[in-house]
Amino acid sequence: MSTYLTPPIPSTLSHTNHNKPAEQKSAEKRKSVDTIYLASIFRRHHTREYSTTLHRCQLFSVECCLLTLRSRLRKNDKYAKKAPLLIAKQKQRQNNVSNPHESTSPSSSQPWLLLLSVFLMVGNGIILELMIAGYSAHLYGDSIYQFSLTIGLFMSAMGVGSWLTQRVERDLERRFIEVELWLSLIGGPAVFLLAMAHIYTRVYTWVMFALIVILGVLIGFEIPLVTRVVHRFGNLKKAIANVLSFDYIGALVGSLLFPLFFLPTLGFTRTSFFIGALNLCIALLNIVVFKEVLGTSRRYLWICSVAIGIFLAVGFVYSTGWIEDARERSTGQKLVYLHHSPYQHIRLIRDIRHPKKPYRLYINGEHQFSTDSERRYHEALVHPAMSMVSSHKRVLLLGGGDGLALREIWRYPDVKEVVMVDLDPAMTQFAKKHKLLRKLNEGSLEDKRLKIVNTDAFLYIKKKRTPFNVVILDLPVPTQIALSKLYTVSFYKTLRKIVHKDGVAVTEAATLDPVENKPFWCLVKTQRTAGWKVRPMLHGPMAFTVMSHKTIQPRQLTLQVAAKHLTTAAIRRAFSLPPDVTLPSPSQPNTLETHRLMYLVLALR
């Protein structure tokens, strides 16, 4: 080990003159203390074990400090001129000398490439989060639970990933590229893996947890690595500010692109593979820019990138077909039509295992109708309500974008106007143009008396003032907050304002099971709390509620048009509930604050 000598204390301070004034003695004493303190720092730095490069850098820094102090003590000393030059030289060395465990490259484009990588990386991470949560909500409902669980677990996993980076001491660029490759390999097929777990296994939740944790750890691992590399090109304050700025901007862009572009254009599965390809592009750009730093490891990184690229390309092209083939083999459902809109996932299939091979429509995974039974449902939904009023001049249809309820409404010749309010224009266009749907709804959406309004039903009834004679609510089951709000006290109170004093409103209720009937009675309680006079109605396995301003007399009802599955006697019997169906006590209404109905529906699944 080399021997280091402590710098000598200036001779002007080594001998004390007792004849000097008190003020001069005090000043010299302070200078002596400062010099001795600095010399002790010098000794401490010398006793530590550093690599050769860092040791020289720190030794030179201490030397500059000593020279500066000496120049202050001896204004005319030669060190007064030499110290500033040495300090400037030291700053230059500090810019050129780095930690021997971290390699650098002089290219000025590298910091901007790394910040661009942060921007894309975080945007991709947000999209992966939204895809996992959205796909889970699409399969199982309860979007608040799915998104809260996904975001919370993802953020926690990012914290674990950030903590693990403290163990990385060298080859930061290579580690960053390797993480990007892992992200592309795991994030790319994420939705495909979830779909396979849903079709073939009963461990979907555990597969979802595993993907969230792995992806969160990888993304959390990257950000500290990038910050440490960017720090080499500027001070720490600037490095952190730049990295976090691009982080937050990337998150914003990703959260907007997913619902507005990726989901409607590519769907869940292909978006996942596309995001994996973006992560692969980030890795490739960094391999090119940091080629001198990577050295021999560059070759295996290229090989891995090519292999992952081929895997992602094949998955992007064939994954959707593979999922549908797997679903067909597992459930006997053959895909006929598939569309992802900004609002919902529309899927028409044919049940090839059923003797009648019926077609079935699903929206966000929820069954809407089957061609072998849809007439029973739509006749029961429309005709009892239409039979309770003397005038059918103005009818409001909330939902029913498939046109099947509208087909039954047009059977009444005195109907002058029907307003259909359906949120998704993709659904109404599908009902207009698809050959099967046009045949089923008998071209009901082409009638000139129809006015289609593509907006939220709650917003529409808030703005509307002209009353309707009949309001028919053909809405999906409330498995999500966006649908649950259309079954709340606030919604039904607002609806009362636009229903004629002699008019009625009807909605589908949950299946009225003698045992599990809490959702049904929760809906009845909600409507009565809003001020309606409510009569429950049961037609086969299907339950409905009819709301009016006046008391309804079912025995006076008469079916006014010909129907295939409904008669006057059947309508009158529908209002007589079985004795085993009783109102549970207590029953709480569904409100915008609690969304109790949604949780009761989900509890039955």
Give residue 73's Cα distance to chain centre.
Answer: 65
CB 470 within 8 A of CB 389: yes
Q: Which CATH class is domain 373-603?
A: alpha beta
The CA distance from 474 to 546, in Å, is: 13
Cα distance between residue 225 and residue 276, in whole Å: 20
Judge whether 413 and 379 are in contact, CB under 8 Å: no
pLDDT per residue as tens digits for the range 520-545: 889 999 999 999 999 988 888 888 99
Contact present, 144 and 85 (Cβ < 8 Å): no
How far apart are the C-alpha atoms of 243 and 230, rounded to whole Å? 8
pTM (2 d.p.): 0.71
What pLDDT, in 10s, does the model give residues 134-185?
A: 899 888 877 888 899 999 999 999 999 999 988 888 888 888 899 999 999 9
| Lowest-confidence region among 67-81, 314-328, 461-475, 544-558 | 67-81
Per-residue pLDDT tens digits for 223-256: 888 888 888 777 777 778 888 888 889 889 999 9
> Does residue 107 have a pLDDT over 70?
no
Asked if the model's pLDDT at residue 38 lies above 50, the reply is no
Provide the percentage of residues in the chain whose pLDDT is more than 90: 41
pLDDT of residue 60: 47
What is the mean pLDDT of the segment spanning 596-603?
Answer: 86
How far apart are the C-alpha atoms of 233 and 17, rounded to whole Å? 52
Q: 3-state class of 474 per DSSP? A: strand
The segment(s) of the chain belonging to CATH 3.40.50.150 are 373-603
Higher pLDDT, 5 or 280: 280
Question: Which residues, in sequence order, are bridge partners of residue 450?
Answer: 418
Q: Does residue 93 have a pLDDT over 70?
A: no
Q: How far is CA 381 from CA 72, 387, 526, 565, in A?
A: 96, 11, 19, 12
* Better-scored residue on pLDDT, 245 or 311: 311
CB atoms within 10 A of CB 218: 23
Mean pLDDT of 442-470: 93
Distance CA 191, CA 270 (A): 9
| pLDDT(418) > 60 | yes
Residues with catalytic annotation?
Answer: 474
Confidence band (pLDDT; 50, 70, 90) for 436? very high
| 30-49 average pLDDT score | 45
CA-wise closest residue to 458 among 424, 497, 491, 493: 491
Copy the structure tokens of residue 79: 């060190």
CA distances from 110 to 107, 169, 221 (A): 6, 20, 19
Tokens (6 digits) for 67: 């020279």
pLDDT at 197: 93
pLDDT score, position 48: 39
> Of 80-94, 213-227, 414-428, 517-531, which range is least confident?
80-94
Higher confidence at residue 81 or residue 111?
111
Q: What is the CATH number of domain 110-327?
A: 1.20.1250.20
Residue 103: is its pLDDT beyond 70? no
What confidence score (pLDDT) does residue 24 get? Answer: 55
Model pLDDT, residue 51:
39
Q: Is the pLDDT of residue 68 over 70?
A: no
Q: Tokens 């001491």 sit at which residue?
A: 169
Q: Kindly report, residue by residue over 174-192, the tens digit of the pLDDT.
A: 888 999 999 999 999 999 9
Within 10 A of 40 (CB to CB), how many other CB atoms are there? Answer: 11
CA–CA distances in Å: residue 349 to residues 111, 269, 425, 445: 51, 18, 20, 22
Predicted pLDDT at 206:
94
**For residues 194-222, average pLDDT:** 92
Q: Which residues lie closer than 8 Å to 601 by C-beta, 6 or more apart? A: 141, 477, 478, 479, 510, 519
- pLDDT, residue 532, reads 94
Question: What is the tens place of the pLDDT at every residue in 255-301?
Answer: 999 888 888 888 899 999 999 999 999 999 888 888 888 888 888 89
Element (H, E) at 183: helix 172-187
Per-residue pLDDT, 95: 47
- In contact, 295 and 170? CB cutoff 8 Å: no
Lowest average pLDDT, out of 229-243, 388-402, 562-576, goes to 229-243
pLDDT of residue 131: 92
Could you give the residue range(s) of every CATH 1.20.1250.20 domain in the chain? 110-327
Count H helices, E strands: the chain? Answer: 23, 11
Give how far the C-alpha of residue 569 lies from the chain's centroid of Cα atoms, to the nearest Å. 50
pLDDT tens by residue, 331-366: 778 888 988 888 888 989 998 888 888 999 998 888
Tokens of 583: 């109102």
Nearest to 401 by CA among 384, 422, 383, 386: 422
What does residue 466 show for φ and ψ, rounded to 5 degrees? -70, 125
Task: Provide the CA 220 distance to its chain's centre, in angstroms.
Answer: 17
